[in-house]
Amino acid sequence: MRLGKTNLEVNKNGFGALPIQRRNEKDSIEILKTAYENGIDFYDTARFYTDSEEKLGKAFKNVREDIYLASKTGTETPEEFWKDLETSLKELKTDYLDLYQFHNISFCPKKEDDIYQAMLDAKNQGLVNHIGITTHKITHAHEALESGLYETLQYPFSYLSGETEIELVEKCAKLDVGFIAMKAMGGGLIKNSKASFAYINQFDNVLPIWGIQKLEELNEFLSYDESTTLTDELKADIEDDKKELGENFCRGCGYCMPCPEGINISLCARMSLWIRRFPTEPNMDERTQKIMEQTKDCTRCYSCVDKCPYELDIPELLKENYEDYINVLKGRTII
């Protein structure tokens, strides 16, 4: 597929390299090389993803010209921007990035902003080929598109998305801005990878970046191609998922963190879904019980709500999930 006005021709399967920071170096490099050997050529990482860039650099140091490397910076000052870019280039073992993106920062950089001028200078120096932005906030997404300054937009998109997100995809198509779909598996809550791929495959301008940390996951996506379309069975699975998840669920983006009381919001606010959609037993161990117990420390300060891009009532979600968890733990609720 063509990634908008970047004119990059990429495999419809993009590789989201956030999860490989959780794997050791040997396993990560094996996964990355397997992806490359099977035609995946777009790899998305970020300075924020601990050693992800380093692993990509080691895996692809001899095939740099055969792939596209995209990274991100979450800094908001020119000084920190240059530090991040220098580190990313060093870790990735490359002289340039095919795509460099502003990473969920607190505003949408415009031409008059020093941080955007730094990005433009990097492009003029040949350190960055294309400029993009990632965000979880719909207002920032529209600002970016209307500014005309960005060649790609990275935004959450999956079969759980609604009309608002579909309109954003269509707007990107109209403006020839490449749309990169993050959280294409619903932040880990979607189980049906084939349905996910088939759904996104309907949109010619959308590049999903699958967050992969296991060879089995990679092989699932490698088994799909442009002929993978939505069947009646897959459509039914999608509708079942939408009914079960609804709209008021935590996507696990983590932008509400850190909690002043140390609550693991990303886990605790969606525990009810985890124990129903995946094996229940691992989430009932002593360690997880202690993590869930911390939700009782919530003071309803609402700092998490202020930071949540989906405007969820997180304190209420924490309360509901804890009560449900205890009922399941004590056998009062049968799953």
- pLDDT value at position 278? 79
Largest CA distance in the chain: 64
For residues 290 and 162, membership in a common domain is answered with no
What is the bridge-based pairing of β-strands 131-134 and 14-16?
unpaired
Distance of alpha carbon 232 from alpha carbon 21, whole angstroms: 37
- pLDDT value at position 177? 98
Domain final residue, candidates 175, 210, 228: 228
For residues 300 and 187, membership in a common domain is answered with no
Average pLDDT over residues 205-233: 94
Distance of alpha carbon 317 from alpha carbon 323, whole angstroms: 10
Distance of alpha carbon 115 from alpha carbon 107, whole angstroms: 11
Average pLDDT over residues 248-253: 84
For residues 54 and 8, membership in a common domain is answered with yes
For residues 158 and 286, membership in a common domain is answered with no
**Contact of 239 with 44, CB cutoff 8 Å:** no
State yes or no: pLDDT of 277 exceeds 90: no
- pLDDT value at position 198? 97
Q: pLDDT per residue over 78-97, tens digit each?
A: 999 999 999 999 999 999 99
Cα 16 to Cα 115, 130, 182, 217, 278, distances in angstroms: 25, 18, 8, 12, 22
Do the domain assignments include residue 71? yes
What is the pLDDT confidence band of residue 246, given thresholds at 50, 70 and 90? Answer: confident
- Which one-letter amino acid corresponds to residue 314? I
Q: pLDDT per residue over 31-43, tens digit each?
A: 999 999 999 999 9
Do the domain assignments include residue 238? no
Do the domain assignments include residue 197? yes
DSSP assignment letter at 9: B
Do the domain assignments include residue 254? no
In sequence order, the 6+-apart residues with CB closer than 8 A to the CB of 171 are: 142, 145, 177
State yes or no: pLDDT of 335 exceeds 80: no
For residues 211 and 276, membership in a common domain is answered with no
* Size of the chain in residues: 335
Do the domain assignments include residue 282? yes
Of 264, 284, 262, residue with least CA distance to 274: 284
For residues 213 and 293, membership in a common domain is answered with no
Do the domain assignments include residue 17? yes
For residues 168 and 279, membership in a common domain is answered with no
What is the bridge-based pairing of β-strands 42-44 and 68-73?
parallel
For residues 219 and 278, membership in a common domain is answered with no
Look up the domain containing 105 and give its range: 4-228
Do the domain assignments include residue 253? no
Distance of alpha carbon 95 from alpha carbon 135, whole angstroms: 26
- pLDDT value at position 302? 93
Q: pLDDT per residue over 147-158, tens digit each?
A: 999 999 999 999
What is the pLDDT confidence band of residue 310, given thresholds at 50, 70 and 90? Answer: confident
- Which one-letter amino acid corresponds to residue 113? D
Tokens (6 digits) for 96: 């340039």
**% of the chain exceeding 90 in pLDDT:** 83
For residues 174 and 35, membership in a common domain is answered with yes
For residues 41 and 167, membership in a common domain is answered with yes
Domain final residue, candidates 228, 252, 283: 228
CATH number for the domain spanning 223: value is 3.20.20.100
**Contact of 168 with 141, CB cutoff 8 Å:** yes
- pLDDT value at position 249? 83
Q: pLDDT per residue over 139-182, tens digit each?
A: 999 999 999 999 999 999 999 998 999 999 999 999 999 999 99
Cα 95 to Cα 17, 64, 87, 121, distances in angstroms: 20, 10, 11, 15
For residues 101 and 193, membership in a common domain is answered with yes
Letter string b/e over residues 80-115, b meaning 16 or more CB atoms within 10 A of that residue's CB: ebbebbeebbebbbbebbbbbbbbbbeebbeeeeeb
For residues 172 and 279, membership in a common domain is answered with no
DSSP characters for 254-272?
Answer: -TTPSPTT---HHHHTTHH
Q: pLDDT per residue over 282-304, tens digit each?
A: 889 999 999 999 999 999 999 99
State yes or no: pLDDT of 334 exceeds 80: no
Q: pLDDT per residue over 220-245, tens digit each?
A: 999 998 899 999 999 999 999 888 88
| Strand, helix or coil for residue 314 | helix
- pLDDT value at position 309? 83
Domain final residue, candidates 181, 202, 228: 228
Number of domains comprising the chain: 2
State yes or no: pLDDT of 197 exceeds 90: yes
Average pLDDT, the chain: 94
